[in-house]
Amino acid sequence: MNIIMLWIGIIAIIISSIFIKNSYNLRIKSPKIYGTILGLLLLGGGVILTYKLGKVPYGVHVDEAGMAYDAFSLSRYHVDRWLNYLPVYFINYGGGQSALYAYLAAIFVKLFGLSTFAVRLPSVIVSLISLYCFYKLVKEDDQRSIFPLILLSVTIICPFHIMKSRWGLDCYLLFPLLIISLYTFLMAIKKEQKILFMLAGILFGITLYTYAISYIIVAMLVACICIYLLTIKKIKFINIIYMGIPLFLLALPLMLLLLNNSGILSLNLDFKFFSIPKLWFYRGGELSISNIFNNLNIFKTLLINDNLYYNVFPQFGSLYYVSIPFLIMGFIIAVYKAIVTLKEKEINANLILTLLFLIILICVLLISSPNINKANALFISLLYFVALGIYFCVKHSKISMVIICSCYLISFVTFSHYYFVKYPKEIQNSYQFVAKNDFDKALDITQDFKDKMIYINDGSSGQTYIYTLLYEKMSPYEFNQTVKIENYLVKSYKNYNFEIPEVIDTNAIYILYKEDKMINELQKNDFQIIDCNNFKVLYKR
C-alpha cells in the first residue's frame, strides 16, 4: 500500500490510542491533549481528502465536466458556455445546475489552470471548514467532552463524507454549507450579535445556490427556528430582520429564476451584474406528494445502495454497517433530548439537528427517485445520531470504546484500500464517468488531421461534447458559432460530430469507446487503429 495510506493508518492509530487512554471519564482533562487530538483529526481529514485528488475518483463525471467548463468560461470570459453573463443558475445540459460550485471552481481555475485537481479543490476546502464548524456546533461547553471528537472522527472516516468531498458535484456543497450556516446561526442566537445574524443570513443565502432542494430546506428551517425563538422570547424581532434582509436579497434572483422558468413570468432577465437564464426544460415536477409511497424504503437506499457507484459501495454502506445500530439508538436519544429542550424552552444544537432531520426527510420523501446526492444534507443529522449512539454506549460501558474504535479502524482501513487502490480501476469509463486522460490522448492523435471530420462516442455520458471543450479550452463564443443542437443534445460543432453515422465515412476519424461494436466494422474496412486504453482511434491514411 502507498506510503501516504500508511500515514493515514498511523494517524488513525495514534488518535485512537490517545483517545482511549485519556477519555475514560468522557472528558479529557488536559487542554493540550484535547487540542492535539483535534489537530490530528483535522490533519487526518485533510490528508484523506487531498490524497490522489486529481486521480480518485478516476475519470470525470459528466456533471463535473459541465461545471468545470462553465468555471473555465467564467474565469476567462465571465459567461457560461451558452454565453449567459454571470448567471445565477447554469443551463448546463438543459435542465439546469446550481451555480455556487462553478464560481468557487473558477477562482482555482484562474489561479492554477484548468485541471481535475483545481476543479475538485473547492469541495475539499469547504468540507474541511465544515468539519471544524460541525465540531464547534455540538461543543456546548468548555469541559472538553469527548462527544464533539466522536462526531468529528465518525464524519472524517465516513465513506459518504470522503466520497462526496472528493469530486465536483454542485449539490454536494449543500452538506457543508448548511453546517457552516447553522453554526453561525446558533452562535448569533447565543451571543445576540447583529453582525452574526447578518452573517448567518448571508451564509443561508449562499446555501441556496448549492442545490434546488435547499430553497425548501432553508425556508422551513429558518422559519421554524425563528418562530420557536420568538415564542420562547429567545430572540429579538430586529435580529430576525438583520438576518432576513441579506437572505432575502440573495434569494431574490432565484425567486425570479423560478417564476421565469415556471411560466409565471416571461421576461428578459439580464441585469448589469448578473443574468437569469431561461432553461431548456424545467424540472420543477420532480417534487410531488405522490412520490412518498414509492420512497418508503429511503433508508435502505441511503444507507446501503442507491445504485450509483460514485455515491456508495454496497459492501461498506454509506456510513459503514457497524453504524446502523448506533444510528437508531442516537435517533431515539436525540428525539428525547429535543422534547426535553422544548419543555425547558431552550435552544441547542440537538434540537436544531433533530428538526433539520425531520424537514429534510419530508423533502426527500417528496423527491422523484431520491438518491444519496439528492439527499446529501440528511447525512448531517444521520452522522450526529451515530455519534450520539456511540457516546451513549461508551458512557455506559468503558470496554465498548476499545471495541468500537477497533471496528471503525478496521472498516476505515478496508474502505480506504478499496477506494484508493481498487476503485479507480473498476470505475474506468463507468456510468456517467469518462476516463478523461485516455480521451485526451485520443484527441491528441487527431490534431494531425485537422481537415477531417471526427466522429466521437465516449461510451457512457451522452454529452461527449463537453469533454472536447475541456480538451480544446475553447472560447464559448467560438463554440456557439458552429454548435448544432437537436432534442437538447449537442450533435456537432466545428469538425466534431457526436452522432455516429450508419454508413462508414472512410475520410473521417473515429474515436470510440473500447467496447464499441463499430470498431470491428471499421477494421474490416481497413481502418488503422491506435489504442488509447479506454478509447480507440481509427482512421485511414
Residues 164-198: tens digit of each pLDDT: 999 999 999 999 999 999 999 999 999 999 999 99
Average pLDDT over residues 349-372: 95
Lowest mean pLDDT among 274-288, 385-399, 492-506: 274-288
- Given a cut of 90, whether residue 363 has pLDDT beyond it is yes
Contact 119, 109 (CB under 8 A): yes
List all residues 6 or more positions away from 419 whose beta carbon is below 8 Å from its beta carbon.
56, 159, 162, 163, 313
| Distance (Å) of CA 288 to CA 96, 129, 212, 261, 527 | 19, 34, 14, 18, 52
What is d(CA 241, CA 248) in angstroms, rounded to the nearest whole number?
A: 10
Average pLDDT over residues 335-363: 97
Domain ranges of the chain: 3-425, 433-539
The amino acid that residue 82 corresponds to is: W
Q: Is the peptide bond before 57 cis (omega within 30 degrees of 0)?
A: yes
- Given a cut of 80, whether residue 8 has pLDDT beyond it is no
The amino acid that residue 358 corresponds to is: L
- Rounded to 5 degrees, φ, ψ at 517 are -65, -20
The predicted pLDDT at position 122 comes to 98
Contact 101, 170 (CB under 8 A): yes
Rounded to a whole number, what is the distance in angstroms from the first to the last CA of the chain? 45
Average pLDDT over residues 269-277: 84
pLDDT by residue (tens digit) across 406-422?
999 999 999 999 999 99
> Residue 50: helix, strand or coil by DSSP?
helix
pLDDT by residue (tens digit) across 9-64?
666 666 666 666 665 567 888 889 999 999 999 999 999 999 999 999 999 999 99
Nearest to 512 by CA among 436, 458, 431: 458
> Residue 540: helix, strand or coil by DSSP?
coil
- Given a cut of 90, whether residue 282 has pLDDT beyond it is no
